[in-house]
Amino acid sequence: MAKGDMLGGGGALWDEYSDIVADRMNNPRNLGEITEEEAEAINCKLVVADFGAESCGDAVRLYWAVENETEIIKISKYKSFGCGTAIASSDIMAELCIGKTVDEAVKITNIDVEKAMRDEPDTPAVPPQKMHCSVMAYDVIKKAAAQYKGVDMESFETEYIVCECARVTLSTVKEVIKLNNLTTVEQITDYTKAGAFCKSCIKPGGHEKKDIYLVDILKETREEMEKERLENSATTDNFRDMSMVGKIKAIEAVLDENIRPMLVMDGGNMELLDIKEDDHGNIDVYIRYLGACSTCATGSTGTLYAIESTLKQQIDEAIRVLPV
């Protein structure tokens, strides 16, 4: 069958599916079941796990034959009840499990499945709105592993997952926002891939209902950052009375919040080398430019002025910034 046959037609939409996806839809390699007798014949334990996606009605049943001594998955098969994308992703998912231990299989993510279905490394295998079909892969693996080990499947999750498609955790999203001073959901997606596929995690009204969305996380994290900034600003009231470590931390906090993100965007950065106070009450802050900033002409003019004026405003009016 041609690519369009099982997908239901032709046109630009079908071009968004990789040839591997079309091939696995039409010619699945691992479709089928494993019986108790077949598993026992090769010294394996049979594991059968079912998982269904409420959002689209797709369902998959995963069969494992796990070797008793090594816990290696010797055979992996499945039955899929759903769209062609669900069949293709289930076929790849089952194949990825073969030869792995149960503990290794649990680490297979939806992104691993999607990337294995790509024709080219940088070209998605399916349209974004169909990425949710591969979400079942991770969940049914987790359920099979839980049954094998006799534990609750949630025990494999140590953090709250914000984006099921890319398996991005809440702590990762918040950390990336803070470290890179992100201000838009689009930036979060660029950095983490959260929201890049089915987009349900971006805001209410998407394909699936979520407990928390990227827009909420961004808003809350920015509020936390502002609160921390104000607290850091408050600690600079007695800057001259601080220890050297305290002074360095206060200046680094201002640089991280207001200066470094700007420099990094242009391929540069800076480091704080030393802080000295002279007999006239001046506070000399010695810095070194890094990356593109080390050869930029504005390092002694506009950029230097921006750094110095920010530190004067937020730390102490007597600060002078000296690049070395």
Which residues are marked as active site? 56, 133
What is the secondary structure of 148-166 as a DSSP string?
Answer: HHTS-GGGG--S-EEETTT
Structure tokens at 233: 């600003």
- Spell out a b/e string for 119-139, using b for 16 or more CB atoms within 10 Å of the CB, else e: eeeeebbbeeebbbbbbbbbb
H helices of the chain, in order, are 3-7, 19-26, 36-41, 84-97, 102-105, 110-116, 135-149, 170-180, 185-192, 214-235, 244-254, 260-265, 302-314
Amino acid at 264: V
Find out whether 271 and 307 touch, Cβ atoms under 8 Å: no
Are the CB atoms for 208 and 200 separated by under 8 Å? yes
Sequence-separated contacts (24+) of 39-43 with Cβ below 8 Å: 39/65, 39/75, 42/67, 42/74, 42/75, 43/67, 43/68, 43/69
Backbone angles phi, psi at 96, to 5 degrees: -65, -25
Spatial separation of the C-alpha atoms in residues 115 and 229, rounded to whole Å = 40
Residue 24 CA to residue 151 CA, distance in Å, equals 32
What is the distance between the alpha carbons of residues 80 and 275, in angstroms, rounded to a whole number?
Answer: 65
How many helices (H) and strands (E) the chain has is answered by: 13, 8
**How, if at all, do strands 73-81 and 59-67 pair?**
antiparallel
Nearest partner of 133 among 15, 11, 26, 25, judged by Cα: 25
What distance in Å separates the CA atoms of residue 136 and residue 139, rounded to the nearest whole number?
A: 5
